[in-house]
Amino acid sequence: MLSVSEAFQLIEQTILPASVCEVPLSQAAGRVSACDVISDSDSPPFNKALMDGFAIRTLDIQDDVRLKVIERITAGEVPQCSLEPGTAIQVMTGAQLPAGTDAVIRIEDVLTPEEDEISFTIDSISPGRNVMSRGESMQMGEVVVACGERLAFPKIALLAELGRSKVSIIPQPSVAVLATGNELVPIDQTPGPGQIRNSNETMLVAQVENAGVKAVPLGIARDDRDDLRSHMKTGLQSDFLLLSGGVSAGVLDLVPSVLAELGVQQVFHKVHMKPGKPIWFGVRPADAENSRPCYVFGLPGNPVSSMVCCELFVKFALNRIENLPGLPAESRKARLRQAHLVKGDRPVYYPARITHNDHELTATPVRWVGSADLRGASEANGMILFTPRDAEYQENEIVDVWKWIEII
Amino acid sequence: MLSVSEAFQLIEQTILPASVCEVPLSQAAGRVSACDVISDSDSPPFNKALMDGFAIRTLDIQDDVRLKVIERITAGEVPQCSLEPGTAIQVMTGAQLPAGTDAVIRIEDVLTPEEDEISFTIDSISPGRNVMSRGESMQMGEVVVACGERLAFPKIALLAELGRSKVSIIPQPSVAVLATGNELVPIDQTPGPGQIRNSNETMLVAQVENAGVKAVPLGIARDDRDDLRSHMKTGLQSDFLLLSGGVSAGVLDLVPSVLAELGVQQVFHKVHMKPGKPIWFGVRPADAENSRPCYVFGLPGNPVSSMVCCELFVKFALNRIENLPGLPAESRKARLRQAHLVKGDRPVYYPARITHNDHELTATPVRWVGSADLRGASEANGMILFTPRDAEYQENEIVDVWKWIEII
């Protein structure tokens, strides 16, 4: 059976980065830049006041000196005068400094700031004080955003400062979620005997949205070729179709064969891991009717299996379509807070509570009885990878962890 | 001047938790639960198969035993027969087990699974194997979601399983962003002499949305009482109004006085910190015309001052209106990766690159020249608190950090 790292490699090889598009900057937060962005100007564009106060020449400042105020500049105004020996110009924070300025004296350090002549409560000031020189923060021609970088608010702010009101990004992929199974009822209904609520749909939508991507639920498809086919056809118009259920070895697991009829090529089925072994992955390539491929994950029906496979493989695939590099970026190291014995021969992705303890990341397995135990997993905010081995994992060992959600 | 912790206390005392509302579960992800949720059922509701295979009685299994298959159950079907000595019933993963079952033999371990009589490739199996007992994951009456807990996808999934298709939450607050200043031009325009682009609006909207809350930009208000008043009136209809600029000591800093006219009471102005000293905070209490209070932050105009104050104070306030407890949850410890000298007498929130290094969190100050240096801060994903002291901060010291965005 395929190993987890082989599965990652197959996903990596299968998924083509999406085409680039241009969007308003206000829609770019969280998306990946599709090009280098180069500064077309110096920042600040002029020598600039960092404080409200008076632009002066430091040479002029000695004990008891008085300077003549020859101009007062407010924000948005440009200085008309240059500083001559013995003069000062009032400026506000952010204002362009008059020619000849080499420092700004804070208004707090000025006696009689309303008068035409001012004197100071300080007797010296070094050149450059409270002045930001042209180009000090950014120079024309510098790469300020790299191609392939995810745009968080600090870069969005910088792009706004640079006037990049439109930016080239990799668009957010479209994701459809389809639960399959005769045993499912909608979550607002009371299950009859042998039935369960379709909690996977709600979970997968929330999980994909937690990864920053909108997901559309398609409802429940029954274990019936026609019903599966019509629901899947809708789903295959998205960039990703996430199926829940129907991929293990049961009598009615029709999903793989109906997918094949619809032109979806299997890439892999089953991965040596726990939970999540039955996972299925395939692709409907782009063709005459479909300008873009659709990547299909058949996620196991057990809720925690589905959850783990979504965190591990679907999130990785979402990164790949955005052309982000290499293997899962979400993996971290943490200190294990209690001993743990691995059962079975498969690597286990075990729900855990990951917390910051001083400057260390620590991980505690939650009480969890297996892939159907959503209650146990709901207390987790991540998972620990336990690889089968002869000895028990010891308290304080360093283990690999994946965070699911914000670690508080 | 107020200390940062005094400012936090004043915000904490001023902000009242928002009223509770009920929303569909599909809209609850990321919001805070407004009540305890108690399980109304056992999970699983019946003894359940954890594998595709055959329900058996472990007593029956010895060398060479053959069992008679008396029923085959698919998902959604309920067993009609009970297990009698010497019989087996085929089940799928998730199926309700027939009375009398105490283990499930995996289909992989069954010879001739299609026949009416089956035998096994294993010679023993312990009771409980591949069976999840009723109530093993969750028992009726248990508190599964606590009041005040932020609902991430694992809890959303559990609520779906429980059929809580509507949930009581603290609604997402409404946030308006208003930039002020004569020097501002929209980001798609080229600034004339002495002008700058209104990058703070784009930044603050992205920053608030990064905290999980939608923000609405109101454009630019000029340094003019009438224009400020009409824009502010619109903004005061939100739960939060974030103003950018107009709160330092400049000639045209009209913001506090126009706010006072509109019934906004100042709570504090200026905090002993760097950057961000000029920050202003106030409240327009609920009254006859306004059913809810509006909390107003006057953020400094310098972009990194605004950014730091938003991360520190606005995000804290957003947590408080959701009734989340105590002081900033975002503070962490990290190992400092290079020596750093603090200048001045104020605590400095210094832009930094926070990264995971093995199981430790580490922080490296970025190259940054001050509150106007957005370029420098754009390379950061968080900030380090440097408190003024006689000695330089040493490499490898443990420092307080705040993450701004996802730490990769």
Query: Which pLDDT tens digit goes with each residue over A292-339?
Result: 999 999 999 889 999 999 999 999 999 999 988 655 656 899 999 999
Provide long-range contacts, Cβ within 8 A and 24+ apart, for B322-327.
B322/B17, B322/B18, B322/B31, B322/B32, B322/B150, B322/B170, B322/B173, B323/B17, B323/B18, B323/B32, B323/B34, B323/B148, B323/B170, B324/B32, B324/B148, B324/B150, B325/B148, B326/B12, B327/B5, B327/B8, B327/B12
The amino acid present at A336, given as its one-letter code, is L
Integer angstrom CA distances of residue B374 from A76, A160, A227, B378: 19, 10, 54, 6
CA distance B253 to B210: 29
Q: Is the pLDDT of residue A249 over 60?
A: no
DSSP three-state, residue B353: strand
Q: Is the pLDDT of residue A250 over 70?
A: no
Interface contact flag, B152 A381, Cβ < 8 Å: yes
Please state the rounded mean pLDDT for residues A188-203. 91
Domains of chain B from N-terminus onward? 4-19+172-321 (3.40.980.10), 21-39+149-170 (3.90.105.10), 48-132 (2.170.190.11), 332-403 (2.40.340.10)
Q: A155-184, pLDDT tens digit by residue?
A: 999 999 999 999 999 999 999 999 998 889
CA distance A201 to A306: 10
pLDDT greater at residue B158 or residue A75:
B158
Give the pLDDT score at A28: 97
Q: B347-391, pLDDT tens digit by residue?
A: 999 999 999 999 999 999 999 988 889 999 999 999 999 999 999
CB B63 within 8 A of CB B125: no
Considering only residues 27 to 46 of chain A, which have any Cβ-Cβ distance to chain B shorter than 8 Å?
Answer: 29, 39, 43-45
- Six-digit token string for A132: 């930001």
Count Cα neighbours of B289 within 13 Å in the Cβ-side half-sphere.
Answer: 7
CB B350 within 8 A of CB B338: no
CA distance A177 to A174: 10
pLDDT band with cut points at 50, 70 and 90 for residue A359: very high
Give the pLDDT score at A94: 82
- Tell which residue, A305, A256, A268, A263, has the closest CA to residue A284: A263
Q: A211-227, pLDDT tens digit by residue?
A: 999 999 999 999 889 99
- Six-digit token string for A304: 């925690």
Give the pLDDT score at B326: 58
pLDDT band with cut points at 50, 70 and 90 for residue B193: confident
CB B190 within 8 A of CB B223: no
B378 to chain A nearest CA, in Å? Answer: 4
Q: Is the pLDDT of residue A114 over 70?
A: yes
ipTM of the complex as predicted: 0.87
CB B316 within 8 A of CB B328: yes
Q: Which residues contact B115 (CB under 8 A, 6 or more apart)?
A: B69
Q: Across chain B, what does the average pLDDT equal?
A: 92
- Residue B288 in contact with partner chain A when CB distance is under 8 A: no
Q: A135-149, pLDDT tens digit by residue?
A: 998 999 999 999 999
CA distance B178 to B180: 6
Q: What percent of chain A has pLDDT over 90?
A: 77
Integer angstrom CA distances of residue B21 from A158, B157, B165, B170: 37, 20, 14, 6
Comparing alpha-carbon positions, the chain A residue that sits nearest to B78 is: A194
Give the pLDDT score at B250: 57
DSSP three-state, residue A89: strand
φ and ψ at residue A147, rounded to 5 degrees: -55, 135
CB A406 within 8 A of CB A356: no
Q: What percent of chain A has pLDDT over 70?
A: 95
Comparing alpha-carbon positions, the chain B residue that sits nearest to A94 is: B302
Q: What percent of chain B has pLDDT over 90?
A: 77
Please state the rounded mean pLDDT for residues B250-263. 81
Q: What angle do CA A181, A185, A188 make, to 5 degrees?
A: 150
Interface contact flag, A96 B193, Cβ < 8 Å: yes
